[in-house]
Amino acid sequence: MHRYLAKRLLLLIPTLFLVTVFVFSMVRLIPGDVVQMMLEQYQYAKDVAELRHKLGLDQPIYLQYVTWIGKLLQGDFGVSLWTKRTAVEELATRFPVTLELSFLSILFSLLISLPTGVVAAVRQDTFLDYLCRSLTIVALSIPGFWLATLMLVFPSYWFHWAPAIGDFTPFRADPLGHLAQFILPGIALGLSQSGVIMRMTRSMMLEVLRQDFIRTAWAKGLPAQLVICKHTLKNAMIPIIDVIGIQMPFYFGGSIIMEHIFGLPGMGSFAFEVISRRDYPMIQAVTLFVALLIVLTNLLIDVSYGYLDPRIRHQ
């Protein structure tokens, strides 16, 4: 296990290097000039040349990249061109919000998809199976932002009630009120991603149910709950967890829209703000941080295989 972790951690170095090159290049390809925007809105300097020199944007691209990498290796993710706040300060404030929304979204996805997939597999080719598969198609077809919009419009139209948008409540001030702010966006994001997990759950459950050891468990007279939950579902969980890992970019990407719609001050809404302002250091910091989270999440998922199935041994 230790050798496997060491190998995977070493593989993170070229992966993150390619991510830095991609992030640095794509940020520079965003239409618009941040220098022009800053001069039009605020008088940061006398002219364009002076401001470019202050921001270090007058240097060649490769020198800007080397300077950025050198600061990253020292733990400096950059400073905002507009607010002069460090990226570490912004991420430390906004990451817990995005993490909480992503966790609740995954939780809602599992609460919806796992029972639905298990019922569809156990009751194969029955009315319940067709109903669950139809709900899966609906979940795959409905865009998350459209569902989130309906969650805001219908309650206000039918019940004259709408969630407080833009008025974020910290957990320490009101724990229940804080959690209530994440229910609707968590359901909207979780439901839109639950269809894939449900289809994988049903497929893997059907495959495991046909195995000889499951027939032996039924023949021994074990309770149905024990056979389905402990023996069948546990052996079907590895591909399901793999799908969850593949969907992690969609959870983080979907949080951008959900946080913007529901007014949550997370990394998603922050990314939307810095992209609109062409704040290069902040865009690079947010994108690199999300990429690092996704890579580490996939690593944790790969490591978990050995705990879910003792037959798997990492070399």
Q: What is the pLDDT of residues 68-90, one digit of tens each?
A: 888 888 877 878 877 778 888 88
- CA of 239: how far to CAs of 195, 197, 261, 309, in Å? 15, 9, 32, 12
Backbone angles phi, psi at 167, to 5 degrees: -110, 80
Burial pattern 153-165, b for ≥16 Cβ within 10 A else e, equals eeeeeeeeeebee
Residue 308: predicted pLDDT:
64
**pLDDT given for residue 113 in this prediction:** 87
Distance CA 27, CA 39 (A): 20
Distance between CA atoms of 235 and 204, rounded to whole angstroms? 9
Q: Which CATH number fits domain 94-265: 1.10.3720.10, 3.10.20.310, 3.40.50.2300, 3.40.50.300?
A: 1.10.3720.10
Confidence of residue 312 (pLDDT cuts 50, 70, 90): low
Separation CA 10–CA 268 (nearest Å): 29
Nearest CA-CA partner of 278 in 102, 51, 66? 51
CB 252 within 8 A of CB 4: no
Q: At what angle do helices 61-73 and 2-28 cross, to 10 degrees?
A: 140
The answer to whether the predicted template modeling score (pTM) of the entire model surpasses 0.85 is no
Strand segments, DSSP code E, in 155-223 are none
Which residues sit opposite 86 in a β-bridge?
79
CA distance 221 to 268: 51
- Which residue, among 134, 104, 280, has the nearest Cα to 199 in the 3D structure? 134
Within 10 angstroms of residue 52's Cβ, the number of other Cβ atoms is 16
Q: pLDDT tens digits for 5-63?
A: 777 778 778 888 888 888 888 777 766 666 666 666 555 555 667 666 666 777 777 88
- Bridge partners, residue 79, by sequence: 86
H, E, C per residue of 60-117: CHHHHHHHHHHHHHCCCCCECCCCCCEHHHHHHHHHHHHHHHHHHHHHHHHHHHHHHH
Residues 162 and 155 sit within 8 Å (Cβ to Cβ): yes
In angstroms, the CA 199 to CA 187 distance is 19
pLDDT score of 299 more than 70: yes
